[in-house]
Chains A and B, each alone.
Chain A
């Protein structure tokens, strides 16, 4: 029972967070207790004891929790006056909800695993999150600083692209901790059994075609390809990523740095109609509708399972982590491929994975202690150990170049645990294709937009399964509903600075009228004075 996964995001959506975001935005201008901007102390006070909290996210992987605990213990050896309390989560959504709740009560953690999208929301509070620029550059306690009590990574040893992903506006608000992408885990055996050859780079057309071919049933109603009653050829775990990557690959609009949203248009509608077409035949489904892609893949009930590379240890018939019973597992050859593309000559895939931010506190010494722990998470041992638990890659070149990590990569497939071939192949997928990765613009509300992108696909697929028609009229209404649900209209307006506040109240009209009258009187008085002076 070491790794049974449940569906926390299925259970609890982030709608509450969307609501709270609006409340934060509305209350942000009025009366929230502003915290002073952080400035780096000249020295860490070694005579004081610090208790800091670290909210960490793991992938329901016990090894990862052990690494967090081990990292805290080793950090405490270097800094005996700093104690790290770890609180563990298994999904980003729960951390996000808890952080924004605790911003209101000034009980945020000190250090927190996060997505940059989420940091953008946290920044709604005054000086809530510490900009890391001055800390990073500090010659004593910064990256590679002379007074850091462990082998601190230098700034230029962090992969620049990953550090850039943590920049919001003009400041760096997080350090990258791990990076992953999405992979398509393919039952190659079934693809070939269906008469197809697996290409190097998958295309959407290929996946749709093979998926529909796999839906053929025999006279007993069983699927020909697997002889079972169940077959969902194509399952996507994170439909927000699916939508975002499709849009990027096509060069269609999604959002801009300014916060302008450009997803709700005819281009997106075309993509949705195609997805709905295959949802209708049930050749395509999603995690929210059916369950984890890996469960179906391993049972021989799915051919193309798209999930994070950070979920690689759950994928394949020899996967070390498994939710289905052994008697349900089907033996097949697994291929790890890039997510499907529209243009194989210019592939695009999302860059994701945990980053770590530092929350501001009244005591700069406490913040400095927190920062030291945050940068400890970038040390070689933490980076290599953690990245080896799943299909992650270290965010520092220093860790990547260690003998330990190179040895790890070279031993792909030596066993079905630490060196499980699918896991290492998933890591290599990102290592070898980092130039094709992208991230979406980060702004206050970008997390809600991401949820909305997934909601479009989920609703279309659910609707066609329920014999509804996904046409222009349906999509028009869907856009309106989703925009309203995630309050995207207010996000877009506030970001663009042109918010429709409705008709002006009568009191305001009177006020402005009187102000205008006052100015007219002043001008007239001055004019009269000038004329009198001129006449005399």
Chain B
């Protein structure tokens, strides 16, 4: 009898021990469900890109951020601020680059001017989806300059309920080659009757930025189809990639700067 009891106790102990090894809740092993896109059917097919939507945003190292109570600046105040100064602005989202790693880069504008908000903290794709065109946001960050591009860095934001604003492109063709052009930096602008000089894929292959050189009155200007901005619009990507030297085009885009004007194009009309 004693042996039977002992055997039962031992069996129970062993079975509990085995159960402990195998019954871990799957939820404890963070499954990369979002991260792992559908497997390719063959080894030689196109590789799976790093996903745009990891399951959770990593914890960001705490950057020094501007005091949220700070007064909202006018565009003129913003222009007058020094690089590295804390800035607080309110503006309306016009477009954004794809959300990534808890960050999003936003093109924002109001009636007075425009802002390029680089890598703004944004917790999730769900939050990013709320930043639709015209949405008003209050942005806390620091004024920065990178290769001539004036931007807001290390920013946080909150959506401001109320009115919306969608900018109309400003025709700046006549400002090409003039110092005043930089006053329109980051705004949605248009250029009329430009002639295509060259089109080049970054890396020489489709799937990334497209560098476009356009000319006007014998001077050449750099434009870029920024892949993270509108590379997923295949029709537009193909249109820009298919431009030929000599084509005459009207172009719209955000007046970005990289060692000189380098507009991020958003629309092209071939004439």
Taking beta carbons and an 8 Å cutoff, which residues of A are in contact with B? 1-2, 4, 6-7, 10-13, 15-16, 18-20, 22-23, 26-27, 30-31, 51-53, 55, 58, 60, 62, 65, 85, 87-90, 94, 97-98, 101-102, 104-107, 109-110, 289-292, 295, 323-325, 328, 361, 366, 455, 459, 462-463, 465-468, 477-478, 481-482, 484-485, 507-508, 511, 514-515, 517-518, 521-522, 525
Do residues A511 and B6 form an inter-chain contact, with CB atoms below 8 A?
A: no
18 extra interface residue pairs, beta carbon distance < 8 Å, beyond A20-B32, A98-B49? A6-B258, A18-B58, A23-B30, A26-B30, A55-B47, A65-B204, A101-B48, A105-B38, A107-B47, A109-B47, A289-B146, A324-B259, A324-B260, A462-B63, A466-B86, A484-B61, A511-B17, A521-B9
A-B contact pairs, 17 of them (CB 8 A): A6-B202, A11-B105, A26-B29, A27-B29, A27-B30, A58-B203, A88-B204, A101-B49, A107-B45, A107-B48, A110-B43, A291-B259, A295-B147, A484-B59, A485-B60, A508-B20, A522-B10
Q: How far is the CB of A72 from chain B (nearest CB, A)?
A: 14
Q: How far is the CB of A447 from chain B (nearest CB, A)?
A: 15
Residues from chain B with a CB closer than 8 A to the CB of A291 are 146-147, 259
B 73-115 contacts with A by CB, 8 A: 84, 86, 97, 100-102, 105
Partner of B222, one of A4, A15, A26, A107: A4
Q: A90-B203, A292-B147, A517-B9 are in contact. Are A101 and B59 (CB under 8 A)?
A: no
Q: A4-B211, A18-B58, A88-B204 are in contact. Are A295 and B259 (CB under 8 A)?
A: yes
B142: CB under 8 A from chain A?
A: yes
Do residues A53 and B44 form an inter-chain contact, with CB atoms below 8 A?
A: yes
Q: A16-B54, A20-B54 are in contact. Are A87 and B47 (CB under 8 A)?
A: yes
B11-32 CB contact bits vs A (8 Å, 1 = yes)? 0110011001000100001111
B64: CB under 8 A from chain A?
A: yes
What is the bound-complex CA distance between A328 and B50, given in angstroms?
Answer: 38
Overall SS of chain B's interface? loop
B114-129 CB contact bits vs A (8 Å, 1 = yes)? 0000000000000000
A-B contact count (CB 8 A): 174
Do residues B61 and A98 form an inter-chain contact, with CB atoms below 8 A?
A: no
Do residues B154 and A19 form an inter-chain contact, with CB atoms below 8 A?
A: no
Nearest-CB residue, chain B, relative to A516: B13
Do residues B24 and A105 form an inter-chain contact, with CB atoms below 8 A?
A: no
Nearest-CB residue, chain B, relative to A104: B36
Nearest-CB residue, chain B, relative to A110: B43
Do residues A518 and B32 form an inter-chain contact, with CB atoms below 8 A?
A: no
Do residues B49 and A65 form an inter-chain contact, with CB atoms below 8 A?
A: no
B213: CB under 8 A from chain A?
A: yes
Nearest-CB residue, chain B, relative to A292: B147
B196-215 CB contact bits vs A (8 Å, 1 = yes)? 00101011110001010100
Residues from chain B with a CB closer than 8 A to the CB of A58 are 203
Residues from chain B with a CB closer than 8 A to the CB of A62 are 204
Residues from chain A with a CB closer than 8 A to the CB of B10 are 518, 521-522
Do residues A481 and B62 form an inter-chain contact, with CB atoms below 8 A?
A: yes
Closest 5 CB pairs of A and B: A97-B50, A51-B44, A291-B147, A104-B36, A481-B61
Do residues A515 and B17 form an inter-chain contact, with CB atoms below 8 A?
A: yes
Do residues B205 and A88 form an inter-chain contact, with CB atoms below 8 A?
A: yes
Nearest-CB residue, chain B, relative to A4: B211
What is the bound-complex CA distance between A481 and B228, given in angstroms?
Answer: 28
Q: A19-B56, A30-B24, A295-B259 are in contact. Are A88 and B40 (CB under 8 A)?
A: no
Residues from chain A with a CB closer than 8 A to the CB of B84 are 465-467
B35: CB under 8 A from chain A?
A: yes
Do residues B36 and A101 form an inter-chain contact, with CB atoms below 8 A?
A: yes
What is the bound-complex CA distance between A23 and B31, given in angstroms?
Answer: 7
Do residues A466 and B48 form an inter-chain contact, with CB atoms below 8 A?
A: no
Do residues A485 and B203 form an inter-chain contact, with CB atoms below 8 A?
A: no
What is the bound-complex CA distance between A267 and B225, given in angstroms?
Answer: 46
Do residues B50 and A466 form an inter-chain contact, with CB atoms below 8 A?
A: no
Q: A107-B40, A514-B12 are in contact. Are A1 and B35 (CB under 8 A)?
A: no
B51: CB under 8 A from chain A?
A: yes
Q: A16-B100, A65-B203, A88-B204 are in contact. Are A511 and B31 (CB under 8 A)?
A: no
Q: How far is the CB of A10 from chain B (nearest CB, A)?
A: 8
Do residues A518 and B9 form an inter-chain contact, with CB atoms below 8 A?
A: yes
Do residues A482 and B61 form an inter-chain contact, with CB atoms below 8 A?
A: yes
B132: CB under 8 A from chain A?
A: no
B37: CB under 8 A from chain A?
A: yes
B39: CB under 8 A from chain A?
A: yes
Nearest-CB residue, chain A, relative to B52: A16
B178: CB under 8 A from chain A?
A: no
Residues from chain B with a CB closer than 8 A to the CB of A289 are 144, 146
What is the bound-complex CA distance between A30 and B40, given in angstroms?
Answer: 23
Partner of B61, one of A11, A292, A323, A459: A459
Residues from chain B with a CB closer than 8 A to the CB of A325 are 259-260
What is the bound-complex CA distance between A88 and B45, given in angstroms?
Answer: 15
Nearest-CB residue, chain B, relative to A474: B64
Do residues A12 and B100 form an inter-chain contact, with CB atoms below 8 A?
A: yes
What is the bound-complex CA distance between A52 and B42, given in angstroms?
Answer: 11
B130: CB under 8 A from chain A?
A: no
Residues from chain A with a CB closer than 8 A to the CB of B147 are 290-292, 295
